[in-house]
Each structure stands twice: as C-alpha cells, then as structure tokens.
Amino acid sequence: MKKSVNLTFAPIFLFFLISQNLFGDILFYYTSATLPAIIAKKVPPIPVEIDIVIKKTGQTNSYNTKGEKIYDDDEPIYDDGYYETGETHRYTRASDIVTDELTQRMWQDDADARKIYGTFAEGLSYCSSLELGGYSDWRMPAISELEEIVDYSGNNDDAVAIDATFQNVYLSDVAYWTSSSTKEHEDNNEYSSNAWIVKFLEGYSTFSTKRAKYYFRCVRD
C-alpha cells in the first residue's frame, strides 16, 4: 500500500536506507515533498483457503456432436456425463422462495416468476425493487448464477431443465434475463447492447438485444 507524507523539513534529495528490520529488507526513500512508497521485500506469501462449490450439472449420459447418445461399448467422450463430478443439487422451498443449499443463494419462485416479463432495463428495476419473503435486497442474477440452477439430467422430451423444487417456470421457448452484458469486443471492456439469457425449456444460454422482452427470476445472497 502506498502512503504519502509531507516532509517540508527534508532536504531536496534526502535518502535513507533502512534494512534488516523486523519485516525484512525495507527501502525507504524520501524526496523534498513526499514519501511516495514503501517497498517491501522477502515477504512470504500468505496461504488463503477458499471454499469453492462445484455443482453437478445433472448430465449422466454422453453425446456426440450429432446429439446421439454414446453407450458403454462406444469410444468414450469425456464430458460431464462421463465424469459426473461435483456436489449434487440440494434445494429447499419456503413459501415463494427456493434456497440453493450449496451456494446459499435464495431464488424468487412466486407466480411472478412465470408471468412477469420485460426488457433488460425493466428487469433490473423490477428485481431491485422486489420485496419478497421479508427481503428487499433482490437483484437480477449474473449468467454464471442463473446457469447454476439449470438441470441437464433430462432430455428434449422433458418439460423444463430445472429442479422440480422450482414450481413457477414459464413452460415455453422463452428465456430469463441475466444481468450480464456481452462484450462488444474481446480485446476491450466495452459492453454491447446485448445481454445473456437462459432458456429453461432446453437448458441453454444465448444472448439477445436488451430491447427484447423476457422473464425475470430474481436472486439474493
């Protein structure tokens, strides 16, 4: 961390070198106006333990590029259906809220989740003003968060690619908004007029213009 200290009493180029102190070699340098930096050396890294939850996708079968199921006597395709690693989904329901017990995120699942829709901006506004279950800190989920509740264990004949704990899902080829905008260009941080959406009928993600109208499913931490 850089600190700046006024040294009006210091000569124009006063230089001090202090070494072998309690924290290792520390170089202090002064100018007539400031102490611009403290440069620390020989400081060992501090290990940090972070709990990361990796959820199973629900996929138990493997498929080739043509969408054909791969059987045991076929050459294996090393996808989620082959490995089946991660933690199994665990959801609980309380009134109109579904809680993901692995991530501890709480999801809106009232009647509005299958009937209220609008543009990207309207979704942001709707979630930020939502009051549900005694909470008022709801927000539109990021693409990575909404994809976490997609269940890939089904097939094209199933009604919806989401756990049955969620009771209010619009059953049509219509998507839900996320708060994640797409990048205009990969080499810069400019965001476009498009945003990511998730379709629970088939369980896949794509992007759309923010002027389009899709459904909202808000989340809180």
Give pLDDT, residue 207: 93
Distance of alpha carbon 221 from alpha carbon 150, whole angstroms: 18
Q: What is the mean pLDDT of the chain?
A: 76
pLDDT digits (tens, 9 = 90+) for 90-102: 899 999 999 999 9
The CATH H-level (homologous superfamily) assignment of domain 89-220 is Mannose-Binding Protein A, subunit A (3.10.100.10)
CB 177 within 8 A of CB 216: yes
Report the 3 state secondary structure along 128-187: HHCCECCECCCECCCHHHHHCCECCCCCCCCCCCECCCCCCCCCCCCEEEEEEEEECCCC
The Cα–Cα gap between 51 and 100 comes to 16
Average pLDDT over residues 63-79: 74
Q: Which residue has the higher pLDDT, 115 or 43?
A: 115
Q: Is the pLDDT of residue 39 over 80?
A: no
**Residue 18, phi then psi, degrees to nearest 5:** -120, 125
Whole-angstrom CA distances from 19 to 11, 83, 96 are 22, 54, 62
**For the chain, domain boundaries:** 1-44, 49-86, 89-220
Percent of the chain with pLDDT over 90: 42
User: Binning pLDDT at 50, 70 and 90, where does residue 31 land?
Assistant: very low
pLDDT (average), residues 188-212: 86
Mean pLDDT of the 191-217 span:
91
Query: Residue 116 in contact with residue 138, Cβ under 8 Å?
Result: no
